[in-house]
Amino acid sequence: MENSIKKPMDLDTLAVKMDEQFAKVDEKFVKIDEQFAKVDENHEFLARMVAQGFEKIGTRLDTMDIKFDAIEHNIKALNSNVNNYLELSEKRYAELK
Residue range 22-36, pLDDT digits in tens: 999 999 999 999 999
From residue 57, alpha-carbon distances to 30, 60, 85 in Å are: 41, 5, 41
Q: Name the percent of the chain lying above pLDDT 90.
A: 73
Task: Specify the length of the chain in residues.
Answer: 97
Distance between CA 58 and CA 65 in Å, rounded? 10
Local structure of 4: helix, strand or coil: coil
Residue 3 pLDDT: 55
